[in-house]
Structure 1
Amino acid sequence: MKNFRYLLFFLLLTSCKDSVLDEKPLAFLNPDVVLVDKAGFETAITGLHSAARDELFGTDTENLHAMNIGTDAYQSGAVSTLLRDYNISLTPTLFSVDYWWEWAYLKMIPRANIVIEYADKPAAKWASDAEKNAIVAEARFFRAYTYNILVNLYGDVPLVDKVQTTPKTDYTRAPRKDLLDFARQDLEFASQWLPKTPAAPGRITKAAADHVLTEIYLALGDNDKAIQSATAVIGDGIHKLMTERFGSKTGLPGDVFSDLFRDKNQNLAANTETIWAIQFEYQTPGGVAYSNATNPTAFGGNSSMRAWGAAYHNIKDPDGKSGMVVCDSLGRPVGWVMGTPYASYDVWKEDWNDMRNSQYNMRRNFYYNNPTSAYFLKKVDPVAAKIDTLNSGWYYPYTRKLEGDPLAGNTAGRTFVDFYKIRLAETYLLRAEAYIRKGDAQKAADDLNVLRARARAKPVTAAKATLDYILDERVRELIMEEPRRRTLVRFGYLAGSNVLVDRVKKYNPKTGTAIDAKHELFPIPQKFIDANLDVKISQNPGY
């Protein structure tokens, strides 16, 4: 003990020396140091892309797909109760309610504002105004993209257009129309200054800005400008629908629609349909959305397979024995999200031979793959196997867009397939919607038939080209790609009615009896209301 006291006294004496207290940081990463030249701003843009990927792939919980669960087209699977009963799930403290709010206000908007603000500081050195404006344009695209999401989830939200350097507890909610107009201005600037071709796979281009601008114009009720901005994409001479087979799997059975979603095909120069795809790279620093200490790669990929695929590996054969085992081609899905009967069957009655419903694009049949089963290689009969196809989560149709090479192993339940955020097919759908809203059903039908011709489906007539038909076609073309909830909310705003609630009641057998008018919007997160001490934030009605 005596020796310990001497040692402690010695340490106290030496710790008081000025030389010990002098800090000599080896590196000091902050905006004032980094955001001074193009290379520094490029790192900030990379941070924005990383945050954008977190919109859907930032965690390993079912909130990743809450943009679809509980809508007209998608219901909760066997292991998920999310939004099965809105009155129980959708509360101001729900994780998903917090998630997109914090994603927007703690990641996307601050990172965008920093780039925009620092680009005009005297310390920033630019080769030209064009060089600066291209960087600012990409940041303004992401800011507008984020506000478009916020208004279609929460309605009126705070408008934050500058860097906050001190605590602020007096935010107010800006009207939805003002927020959309703010996003419009950002996107018009972005359209002017973004490049026509991406600087690297996944980077934002003029076409991406014009596509989102089309949706903003629609939301503002300006159909003519929506048609104009969509036409700027469709007629830019760069983007065209893929109509012939291409890419990594042309040697295997398939079709051009299935080729769009196979590994590594999203960024091919031959693929003229991609406008913006989220990037994943296996075992590459920054190439995954997130990781954990025990498995830094397997939990960082595209989790669509895990969430949307049927948990086929739980299927037992008619003898009650294990009929299925996890295999490389199907991975280990858990079935959080199932299509409703409307999305799995009804929309295909228009033309069951539609390419998008082919065996290469919709998996409707399973075959016993356990060699120890007496039914090995035989087709699964859900009746004989006593499978509850509505509630078990083991057996139901799903889109094969989610399938890919599970590089992290078949038990990880994930792939590293790049994920489309914007594809030219949706631009056609947006323009068709604008034509219908303008009253030109024939031109709307013409745009719809571009997609249906590619799918070798029966053409639609002008008489059938309605907004409801647009919603059906969006399911056929954009299943799993589209954030269905936000689409239905946007349609509801324009119709002056509650399209989301009405269609859920009509088409969703699990949720239809447990949704009310208030559920059109998410509640404002309670933690934000509590933290905004100096201004009372009103909650969305009914919560």
Structure 2
Amino acid sequence: MKPLNYKKQLLIILLSIFTLSCEDMVELDPPSNQLIREEVFNNEATVKSAMTGIYNELFQLDFSNGYRSSVTTLAGLSADNISNISTTNLSRMEFEQNEINPDNPDNLNIWSSAYNMIYITNSFLEGINNSQVLDQDFKKQMDGQARFVRAFTYFYLANLYGDVPLILSTDYRENQLAFRTPKNEIYDQILLDLQQAEEELSSDYATGERTQVNKFTVKALMARFYLYTENWSKAEELSGHLIDENGTFKLQDDLNEVFLANSKEAIWQISPIGGNGISTQTNEGNFFIIDPIFSFFAAIRLQEDFVEQFDTEDLRLLNWIGYNESKNAHFIYKYKIWNSTEYPIREYSMVLRLAEQYLIRAEARAMQNNIAGAISDLDIIRQRAGLNLLADLNPTIEQAELLDEIFLQRRKELFAEWGHRWLDLKRSDRTSEALEDENPYWEDTDLLYPIPETERIKNPNLTQNEGY
């Protein structure tokens, strides 16, 4: 195991203080907390270590860690690509059945862990901006990275829950009774943070690791943001910036290399180093792979009607989908390592990658009636998958049919990654069409997750989403 030095251990301890909820902050002695923050933010080395601690927390916190209570798992269950192997886990079954109770513990895990990350980034931003000793250029680099992480976190909160409290400080007196903020205002703040981060950050991966946020990372999320807000020209422009950076990014020809650490396709990844333990596999690999010997641990399977969507020659079927005979189940095999203690770490959790940018630009172009341009981008993805080109099969395809094909390729390309399918169905008004025939519990009010009941008990100003 790669040892942590004393300074990094100290910063992990300090950062753990930042992860306390606003309610827990009531118990802290403000003078002691202030001394800790001054210690962290009075030199560049400790600030860099604190920022590394934030990245490490993304591997720990439920919403972002790719494990049982992550957006990847739970939003995946809400859609139509994956399902539970066992029906005895009632909490996860509620996500699969779109019947989530407000007291569901996994739902609380998403919410509370996301707000813990927001509290961490707010604390970090306050410390950076209040520091009188740090170099201004250095402060901008650190500020931009933290702002991105905050925007990224709010992006998922807003898309899963709709209106949510907008917390931009560490003032627990103000935060503990915060009202829900309209989603459009949350989006305004997301864009504001992303725009500032884009101005402040360089284009380098300073450490050589694609686990660090840079200008390209920001542009990738901005492209998705503009796609979701139907600003087609900006979505095309931003995704084009990433696609044109062919010296830095490229699609991996071998699909088995896509999810490797620092893959050329990766725009942003999360390293398992954040687990601070002896294991070095990703949570996605550990949770989704059905190991042939330890298959009794298996919890998630791919839905058979999803697997049947793939052509037999599709390389994604052949490389990214496994089959376990004892469970008679297909499983997610994008990550190949179920368990590891090896260094260097071979796989990182993928968050943003180039293939999504091609699909963003294809959709944005299609929505602007640039059919030829959309086909060209989509065929890059189809060709990598070993499929015949749409330009040859149907060059005169109409816009509506082309959009159906784009969403189908998004489903096949991005399955089991950060809830893409669930969010795609929602933003395109395809959810009822996709789910209501197979799910007798489906109601349109299921589009938003419930505000956790324990949070509403603590904060009487939190209203509940319709239908709960």
TM-score under structure 1 length normalisation: 0.71
Residue 204 of structure 1 and its aligned partner are, at CA, apart by 0.9
Q: Which has the higher helix share?
A: 2
CA shift digits 1:200-230 (9 cap, x unpaired): 2211121110011111112222111111111
State the distance in 2 between where 1:501 and 1:277 align. 32
Residue 37 in structure 1 maps to residue 49 in structure 2: no
- Residue 353 (1) aligns with residue 289 (2): no
1:105 equivalent to 2:115? Answer yes
Measured after TM superposition, the shift of residue 306 of structure 1 is: 4.1
Q: Which of 195, 204, 207 pairs up with 2:202? A: 195
Compare 224-233 and 440-449 and name the one that shifted more: 440-449
User: For residues 29-66 of structure 1, what are the alpha-carbon distances to aligned partners after superposition, in whole Å with 9 as ceiling and x for unaligned?
Assistant: 61122112322321221222122222456597455711
Distance 1:238 1:174, change over 3 A: farther
How far apart in 2 are the matches of 1:416 and 1:223? 36
1:492 paired to 2:430: no
Deviation, 1:485, is 5.3
Alignment partner, residue 51 of structure 1: 57
Aligned residue identity for 2:320: N
In the alignment, the residues of structure 2 paired with residue 515 and residue 84 of structure 1 have an alpha-carbon distance, to the nearest angstrom, of 13
1:524–1:540 contact (8 Å) kept in structure 2: yes
User: Once structures 1 and 2 are overlaid, which stretch shifts more, 206-215 or 301-310?
Assistant: 301-310
For each residue in 1:100-126, what CA deviation from the matched residue of structure 2 results, as whole angstroms up to 9, or x when unmatched? Answer: 2111212x11121122222222x4323
Count of equivalent residues? 424
Following the alignment from structure 1 to structure 2, what is the Cα–Cα distance between the partners of residues 63 and 242? 26
Distance 2:149 2:162 in 1: 19
Would you say the 8 A contact 2:216–2:267 is kept in 1? yes
Q: Does 1:467 align with 2:400?
A: no
The offset of 1:444, in angstroms, is: 1.5
Deviation at 1:151, TM superposition (A): 0.7
Do the aligned partners of 1:276 and 1:423 also contact (CA within 8 Å) in 2?
Answer: yes
CA drift of 1:88 comes to 8.3
Cα pair distance change 1:206/1:76, threshold 3 Å = same
Bigger shift: 110-119 or 521-530?
110-119
Separation (CA, whole Å) in 2 of partners of 1:191 and 1:60 = 30
Structural mapping, 1:179-194, within 5 Å: 179-194=186-201
Matches of 1:458 and 1:530 in 2, distance apart?
55
Is residue 307–residue 335 contact of structure 1 (8 Å, CA) maintained in 2?
yes
Classify 1:420/1:243 alpha carbon distance in 2 versus 1 (closer, same or farther; 3 Å).
closer
Distance of aligned partners of 1:199 and 1:219 in 2 relative to their CA distance in 1, 3 Å threshold: same
Q: 2-side partners of 1:59 and 1:452: how far apart?
A: 26
Whole-Å Cα distance in 2 between the matches of residues 169 and 120 of structure 1?
A: 23
Aligned to 1:280: 272
Q: State the secondary structure of the residue aligned to 2:297.
A: coil
- Alpha-carbon distance in 2 for matches of 1:167, 1:188: 26
CA drift at 1:174: 1.0
- What amino acid does structure 2 have at the position aligned with 1:100? I
Gaps in structure 2 of 5+ consecutive residues: 1-31
Distance between the aligned counterparts of 1:428 and 1:266, measured in 2? 21
Matched residue, 1:362: 321
What residue is the counterpart of 1:538 in the other structure? 463
Which of residues 56, 78, 81 is equivalent to 1:73?
A: 81
Contact 1:485 1:500 in 2 (8 A): no
The answer to whether the 8 Å contact 1:70/1:76 transfers is: no
C-alpha distance in structure 1 between counterparts of 2:176 and 2:69, whole Å:
31
The one-letter amino acid paired with 1:355 is L
**Structure 1 spans left out of the alignment, 5+ residues:** 1-25, 245-255, 282-286, 290-295, 313-325, 367-379, 381-386, 388-393, 410-414
Shift of 1:77: 1.6
Report the Cα distance in structure 1 between the residues aligned to 2:432 and 2:302, rounded to whole angstroms: 17
SS of residue in 1 equivalent to 2:329? coil
Superposition RMSD in Å: 2.9
Question: 1:376-421, CA deviations, whole angstroms, 9 ceiling, x for partnerless residues?
Answer: xxxx6xxxxxx7xxxxxx1222232232162259xxxxx9731111
Q: 1:343 aligns with which of 306, 311, 320?
A: 306
C-alpha distance in structure 2 between counterparts of 1:479 and 1:132, whole Å = 37
| 1:334 to partner: Cα distance | 2.8
The answer on whether the counterparts of 1:230 and 1:431 sit within 8 Å (CA) in structure 2 is yes
Task: Kindly state the Cα deviation for residue 97 of structure 1 after the two structures are TM-superposed.
Answer: 1.4
The structure that has the greater radius of gyration is 1
Shift of 1:147: 0.7
SS in 2 for 1:541: coil
Tell me, in whole angstroms, the C-alpha distance in 2 between the residues paired with 1:228 and 1:396. Answer: 41
Partner of 1:30, secondary structure, is helix
SS at match of 1:475: helix
Q: How does 1:68-217 map to 2 (within 5 A)?
A: 68-78=76-86, 80-85=89-94, 89-106=99-116, 108-121=117-130, 123-127=131-135, 129-166=136-173, 168-200=175-207, 201=209, 202-217=211-226
| Deviation string, structure 1 residues 222-255 (Cα, Å, up to 9, x no partner) | 11111111111111243332454xxxxxxxxxxx
Q: Is the 8 A contact 1:57 1:302 kept in 2?
A: no
Of 365, 370, 373 in structure 2, the residue corresponding to residue 435 of structure 1 is: 365
Change (3 A) 1:168 1:152: closer
Judging changes above 3 Å, is the alpha-carbon distance between structure 1 residues 335 and 89 closer, same or farther for their aligned structure 2 residues?
farther
Provide the secondary structure at the position in 2 that maps to 1:417: coil
TM-score (norm 2): 0.82
After TM superposition, the structure 1 stretch with the greater mean CA deviation from structure 2, 60-69 or 219-228, is 60-69
